[in-house]
Amino acid sequence: MQPIHVGLLGLGTVGGGTLTVLQQNAAEIARRAGREIIVSHASSRSLRMAPEALNRVTIMDDPFQLVVQPEVDIVVELIGGCTPARELVLQAIAQGKHVVTANKALIALHGNEIFAAAQQHGVTVAFEAAVAGGIPIIKAVREGLAANHIEWMAGIINGTGNFILTEMRDKGRDFAEVLQEAQALGYAEADPTFDVEGVDAAHKLTILAALAFGIPLQFSACYTEGIGQVQRQDVSNAARLGYRIKQLAFTRKTPRGIELRVHPTLIPEKCLLANVDGVMNAVLAQGDMVGQTLHYGPGAGALPTASSVVADIIEVARTLTTDPHNRVPHLAFQPSELADIPVLPMAEVTTAYYLRLTAQNKPGVLAAVADILGEAGISIKAMFQQEPESGTCEVPLVMLTHPVQERQMNAALGRISDLPDIADDIVRLRVESLR
């Protein structure tokens, strides 16, 4: 059989990793794919690869020339971002080329358009590496769990954010210093605010929700909150209450709509997901037939991500001769079967809460807070107050509540922050039991 020719757009962390995997495991990959897979062309702004790795590769300055090369069968987009990635991918599709991408922003924001174009041209766009790096989670949700109604999914799907929270908790390290290390290790996005603000996780969650519930990709409806507000005292308060703080990406189908949200969350420390540390990622999926399945592995880094990219290349190579209408649908459900279920605004989402208030240490303050919560129908599940540090009359007041609708909690917190003896900077984190 003729070899498959791959054109690589981007030779950065993941592009370089992909070249390494394809070259190092070439024989094993050919055994699996049924034919040789060769990187014939590559385009990159800077060449950091060893020259011998690029011996048989034609380097092109213009990526738009690469996507129209007649001998390229599969275009692998690893440049990231939406511009010019969107145009390049659409041009490749228009040329009848299959596409593999690790670009979560591209899929979350432009996936609906890209998949429609791919369907029109009878080509496949594969994106396993876009979510959770080396974990084959797209395949698991799209195929392995296809018998189920997926009820909810909870994921730690940003390696950088998880690495930062873990180092802060275990070693008391400083946020900025750990972020710098994550950048040096190649985990962080080109713009690391995407990692710490939860945007990267929101891109990935948007994709997972579409696959789980058969809805179009709706990144703009995803609620996102970063980890910058998490302080070391909240991490230790959470531990005292039997929880860990994770940047959780959570999506659930409710009778009123879909919850789609990324925010720092307290989860029970006994839960496996709470013990996913460092750059590791994990996705917990609740299906009505299977129950819970947990998918765990490295969420970032050159070779783990390249492992997913190459799996997609092999999959595309295997399906080249199949009828385009009988391939696995891009978004798991047949395109005509996508559902028009609304994404719920956060005010309508119900969760339990962790609250940390800074109160003046005087009589009646706790009673006033408890009154407001009681009047709002919010029940306190656990509570403690720490002794004031010497020389101050402010005390941290920490509580866990039972589940309540966010609208009710917002109204109560508005009233609490108006109390003269409560400081304005109330810390409010959501809690998920994941049961």
Q: Which residues bind ligand HSE (CB under 6 A)?
A: 133, 158-160, 187-189, 195, 200, 299-300
b/e burial code for range 157-193 (CB count within 10 A of at least 16 → b): bbbbbbbbbbbbbeeeeebeebbeebeebbbbbeebe
Strands (E), 78-133: 98-101, 125-126
Residue closer to ligand HSE (CB basis): 197 or 406: 197
Cα–Cα dist 355/429, whole Å: 7
Choose among 163, 247, 251: nearest CA to 207: 251
Residue closer to ligand HSE (CB basis): 159 or 214: 159
Peptide bond into 84 cis (omega under 30): yes
Residue closer to ligand HSE (CB basis): 301 or 396: 301
Q: Residue 61 class from Cβ within 10 Å (0-12 exposed, 13-18 middle, 19+ buried)?
A: exposed
- The distance of closest approach from Cβ of residue 195 to ligand HSE in the complex, given in angstroms and rounded to an integer, is 5
- The distance of closest approach from Cβ of residue 177 to ligand HSE in the complex, given in angstroms and rounded to an integer, is 17
Beta bridge partners of 296: 282
Residue closer to ligand HSE (CB basis): 159 or 329: 159
Residue 171 catalytic? no
By the 8 A CB rule, do 86 and 114 touch? yes
Two structure tokens written together for 322: 């199949």
Cα–Cα dist 114/388, whole Å: 57
- The distance of closest approach from Cβ of residue 416 to ligand HSE in the complex, given in angstroms and rounded to an integer, is 35
Please spell the DSSP secondary structure of 357-382, one letter per residue.
Answer: EEEESSTTHHHHHHHHHHHTTPPEEE
- The distance of closest approach from Cβ of residue 386 to ligand HSE in the complex, given in angstroms and rounded to an integer, is 34
Residue closer to ligand HSE (CB basis): 155 or 329: 155
Which of the 8 DSSP states describes residue 131? S
* Residue in 204, 246, 270, 362 annotated catalytic: 204
Q: Residue 38 class from Cβ within 10 Å (0-12 exposed, 13-18 middle, 19+ buried)?
A: middle
- The distance of closest approach from Cβ of residue 280 to ligand HSE in the complex, given in angstroms and rounded to an integer, is 10
Q: Tokens 């040096």 appear where?
A: 184
Residue closer to ligand HSE (CB basis): 158 or 224: 158
Residue closer to ligand HSE (CB basis): 276 or 300: 300
- The distance of closest approach from Cβ of residue 69 to ligand HSE in the complex, given in angstroms and rounded to an integer, is 28
- What three-state secondary structure class fits 25? coil
Q: Tokens 């020259």 appear where?
A: 51
- The distance of closest approach from Cβ of residue 163 to ligand HSE in the complex, given in angstroms and rounded to an integer, is 7
Annotated active-site positions, please?
204
